[in-house]
Amino acid sequence: MTGVSPSVGALTAEFGSAILRTVVSCGDSIVYVMRERAHDVLAWLKNTPGQEFDYLTDITAVDYRDPERPLEVVYQLRSLGRKADLRVKIALDGSAPLDVDSVYDLWKGADWLEREVYDMFGVTFVGHPDLRRILMWETYGEGYPLRKDFPLRGHFSRAEQVRQALAANPEAQYSLEELSLAQAMHDLPADMTERLRRGERGLVP
Amino acid sequence: MTRRTVEMALSTPGLDAQGRPVSLPLGVTGGEPGQTPDEYMLLNIGPQHPATHGVLRLVVELDGEVVRRVIPHIGYLHSGFEKLGEYRQYNQIIPLTDRTDYLAPMANNVALALAVEKLMGIEITERCKVLRVIACEMSRIISHIVWLGTTGIDLGAFTPFLWSFQERERIYNLQEAWTGARLTTSLTRVGGMMADIPEGWDLALREFTQTFPSVLDEVDTMFSRNAIWCGRTQGIGAMSAEDAINYSLSGPMLRASGVDYDVRKDRPYLDYETYDFEVPVGEHGDIYDRYMVRLEEMYQSNRILQQALDRLEPGPINVDDPRVILPPKSRAMSDMEAMIFHFKQVMEGIKPPAGEVYFGAENPKGELGYYFVSDGTAKPVRWRIRPPAFINLAALPALCEGALLADVIAINASVDIVMGEIDR
Amino acid sequence: MVVTPPAGGVELSAVSPNWVTTRLDFLSNWARSNSLWPMPFGTACCAIEFMATAASRFDLARFGMERMSYSPRQADVLICAGRLPFKLAPVIRRIWDQMPQPKWSISMGACASTGGIFDNYAMVQGIDTIIPVDVYVPGCPPRPEGLVYGIMLLQKKIKGESFTDPDLRQEHLLDDVGMFLPPERVDELSEPFGNSIHQTRSG
Amino acid sequence: MLQAYIPLLLVVAFVVVNAVIMLGLSHWLSSSRPTGVKLQPYESGMPVLGDARERFSVKFYLVAMLFIIFDIEVVFLFPWAVAFNQLPAQSGLLLVAMLIFLAVLTAGFIYAWKRGALEWS
């Protein structure tokens, strides 16, 4: 399906200024959207009868090599009925804090995808029910690995990375939800509760 | 049984590693009145567990045998594939793809080659298309059959595991004869394949396709009407079609819920539309339907293999564009121009045009997507893997709500997870 | 820090080797080496090759090893089949500590032995920085015959052991900083080698 | 009269001696090195929150008790079966006696079943 997908025309008619620009690359049409209106655009794309992008294929982010180009959050949408694809992108320039509205309320599949983008790029998704690291351990202190300013072998030395991994507190391997469940069951040992109270869950002694 | 909410209100002065305020767990409220919380138990079905198909960790909150809540923890096999991809040329990424979904390595190689060829707009030769279809369908068979074996072990039947590895060994022999490696095949190159199939290989594959359905019939007679198997799988971990679409499931998980969506039919690649095969679709979306869909898919893959073998005729397997494919060694040593192309390609690698591409292939686990962003240099700016098993596993907490503990193991097995692809 | 054994049983390692102890060595080493219960710490692709080795064609049962013990309490040899990320390091360390003596460990595959092609932020560059390793099996993944050869090497090593060797069955726990090896040793072992040195940022 | 018991005593003695030797040897030869972390409970390689000795819900004990009752019922059948074929004269009386015994227990079983003791939730 070469050429621009019909949804792009409908989108610019509907939202006008919120649609910054559209690009076609390798047969897929891409729409750049303003960050503030992104959630409305995605909700519109999902719910309007003519579009029905009911299937969220993927959420990811791209950090370009030259620092001026902003970090982009990418949504791959697909309409199973119409067999149509659309890629919605949001450019997050470095000045403002990197946060985007979560689409968990539209597609439940976005839960882990957004957590992974947060883990790898540091983009916080406002409204996400449980935003914490998913691939690295929760108290990982080296930063966001897939950023281009993050070196391939990490900031710390290998010995420091091994020490951080081996010497972490036992409660660092549990999420806050499990810790509160354990505390409700009076299972949390005293020293662990004390460290939690002081907020030293991620501290490596 | 109202859903119990966990109050995490009290925030303490401390900040955790990311600088966010740490909130001290206050306690459990909600649930039925008078239900003393200390009757519940937190259990780690942890990273080192025979039934988690790899290093998945499920923290399960139990009320006796009934599961209140499942909190999956993944990332125990996170190996930074996508970061490594940004330091590799395009053909060097292919060995990385073997190691993401190591149960179906050839299907990953083919998907990556197709993604880069779509980015560069290369049209591959006819024989290469048929060989790639053979590679994909063989991967589907070995991935589903090892799923069948390990799920059988999880539910107590050991013999299908030995049958499944018997069949897998036969395909290992074929893969080894073709690429030299049993598991990490690195079969494709951008624009072609690493090697053509050796003499007599297609006869061996045809002989496999003739005897393989009998093994499937044995498994079918052993499982499909087995009282224990049906008792443990029917009606458990069910998901409706709308939920399946909303959770972005794909592959057998989606089709078992009744959604007729197969990438080979909806967005045909490698001339899949010219092959005659059906797509099995379930109705209830429970574990039994997932089992039936995967079993039926193995029959269909077998049919596709036979049709592919019929249409396989001699011809070149690589596209003859020297900027993409290395010229044959003989010409590279004798003819100056071929040597220059050989040198340029080995030193600088392939340079696709700037731009981005998303290509989704129907992998045994679901829709495996590769999203490449290239800025014209030899190494991609971004290599994103759309992992089907990762997204299918995200639906596990919803599937396991209120099930029994033994069912959590069965549901987890039915999702068909491979941790290498989930944690990337 | 090294754990001194309890005072209860007579300490065999203090006895000087004589005919009785060598016969006793022979008997116990023969029994131990021919009934090694593996703890398959299977993480990635090598675990699939380990399953193929345990299945009927390359049958581990010939070595008395088909009884997989998934709990460290009954395990004799910890086979780390597959790559080990930093998030999994405390798990393998805890499982190794919870295995009773006598215990051995096989590091199966290039990724477990040296970090393999994953020379990045997420991967332990060789599990010998985390736990002591007896046999390294090269290969990515090693062929089942390669793993079986590694196991036969381990059996030969076990047959060579003796009770009278004092520093054999010692528990080497993490030190108070939480490290198994001194930091400079870990850095030296994890040095990048081969072409991964040139993996700087491209273009 | 006591000779009949000698073989039995020999067997018992052999069993005891054999067990003592095996346990003694394994304890004496074993290189046990108890350490702090080795004594902690094993939960798939994770540090444990709370201990395993927790209050189980009563449903587990209910199932155990039901099993014990009907297991003992079966135990009583064995001596009855042996006696049954040795006394062919009173076979009718023996049969009726056992049927009454079984009937009482089956009534108990049906009561437990109807009360839902066998369902789990």
- What is the per-residue pLDDT across B33-89, written as a single tens digit (0 to 9) for each? 445 555 678 888 989 898 888 899 999 988 878 898 899 999 999 999 999 999 999
Per residue in B356-383, pLDDT (tens digit) is: 999 999 999 999 999 999 999 999 999 9
Cβ–Cβ < 8 Å for B25, A183: yes
Spatial distance between the Cα atoms of C39 and C76, rounded to a whole number of angstroms:
7
Q: Are residues A65 and A106 in the same domain?
A: yes
Architecture of domain D2-114: Up-down Bundle (1.20)
C131 belongs to a structural domain: yes
Chain A residues with at least one Cβ partner in C under 8 Å: 65, 136-137, 142, 145, 148, 150-154, 157-168, 173, 204-205
Q: Residue B15's pLDDT is what?
A: 46
- What is the CA B173 to chain-centroid distance, rounded? 21
Looking at the 3D structure of chain C, how many domains does it have?
A: 1
Q: Mean of the per-residue pLDDT values for chain C?
A: 87
Q: State residue D121's pLDDT score.
A: 61
Contact (CB<8Å) A163/C174: no
pLDDT for position C196: 63
The predicted structure's pLDDT at residue B19: 47
Residue-range definition of the domain harbouring residue C63:
36-189
Portion of chain B with pLDDT greater than 90, in percent: 77
Q: Is it the case that residue B408 has pLDDT exceeding 60?
A: yes
DSSP B258-305: T----HHHHS--TTGGGS-------SS-SHHHHHHHHHHHHHHHHHHH
In-domain check, residue C3: no
- CA distance linking residue B37 with residue B63, whole number of Å: 9
Phi then psi for residue C105, to 5 deg, are -145, 140
Size of interface A-C (CB pairs under 8 A): 70
Looking at residue C183, which CATH number applies to its domain?
3.40.50.12280
pTM score over 0.90 = no
Q: Which domain holds residue A152?
A: 142-205
Q: Residue count of chain A, please give it.
A: 205
Map tokens 């709308």 to a residue. B242
CA of C10 vs chain A CAs: smallest distance (Å): 35
CA end-to-end span of chain C, whole Å? Answer: 48
Domains of chain B are 5-73 (no CATH), 88-423 (1.10.645.10)
Q: What per-residue confidence (pLDDT) applies to B76? A: 94
pLDDT band per the 50, 70, 90 thresholds, residue B5: very low
Q: Is residue B173 within a helix (H) or strand (E), and if so which, with residue range?
A: helix B159-179
A197 compared with B102, residue with greater pLDDT: B102
- What pLDDT score was predicted for residue C3? 65
Give phi and psi for B368, each to the nearest 5.
-90, 120
- Give residue limits of the domains in chain D: 2-114
pLDDT of residue B11: 35
- Whole-number pLDDT of residue B33: 46
- If one counts the domains in chain A, the total is 2
pLDDT score of C26 more than 80: yes
Which segments of chain A have a pLDDT < 70?
1-2
Band of residue B25 on the pLDDT scale cut at 50, 70, 90? very low
Rounded mean pLDDT, D3-31:
90
Confidence of residue B1 (pLDDT cuts 50, 70, 90): very low
Domain boundary among A135, A166, A182: A135
The residue written with tokens 């199939």 in the block is B197
Q: Are A107 and A159 in the same domain?
A: no
Cβ–Cβ of A188/D49 closer than 8 Å? yes
Q: Tell me what the mean pLDDT of segment C148-176 comes to.
A: 89
Query: Which chain B residues have a beta carbon less than 8 Å from that of A25?
Result: 355-357
DSSP string, B45-83: E-SS-TTSSSS-EEEEEEETTEEEEEEEE--TT---HHH
Please tell me the predicted confidence (pLDDT) of residue B23.
Answer: 47
Task: Inspect the interface and report whether the beta carbons of B382 and A63 lie closer than 8 Å.
Answer: yes
Half-sphere exposure for B40 (CA within 13 Å, toward CB): 25
What pLDDT was estimated at residue C198?
62
For this complex, say whether ipTM is above 0.95.
no
- Give chain A positions within 8 Å (CB) of B28: 180-181, 184
- Give me the pLDDT at residue A202, please: 79
Confidence class of residue C79 from pLDDT cuts 50, 70 and 90? very high
pLDDT at C166 over 90: no
Lowest mean pLDDT among A41-45, B211-215, C72-76, D83-87: D83-87
Q: Is the pLDDT of residue D42 over 50?
A: yes
The confidence score (pLDDT) of residue A189 equals 84
Is the domain of A109 the same as that of A189?
no
Query: Which of left, alpha, beta for C77 (phi over 0: left; psi -120 to 50: alpha)?
Result: beta
B17: left (phi over 0), alpha (psi -120 to 50) or beta: alpha
Based on the fold, state whether residues A149 and A63 are members of the same structural domain.
no
Query: Higher pLDDT residue, A182 or B139?
Result: B139
Residue B314: is the preceding peptide bond cis (ω within 30°)? no
A170: nearest CA partner in chain D:
D47
Determine the length of chain D. Answer: 121
CA distances to B51, C98, C171 from D36, rounded to whole Å, are: 28, 9, 11
A110 and A170 fall within a common domain: no
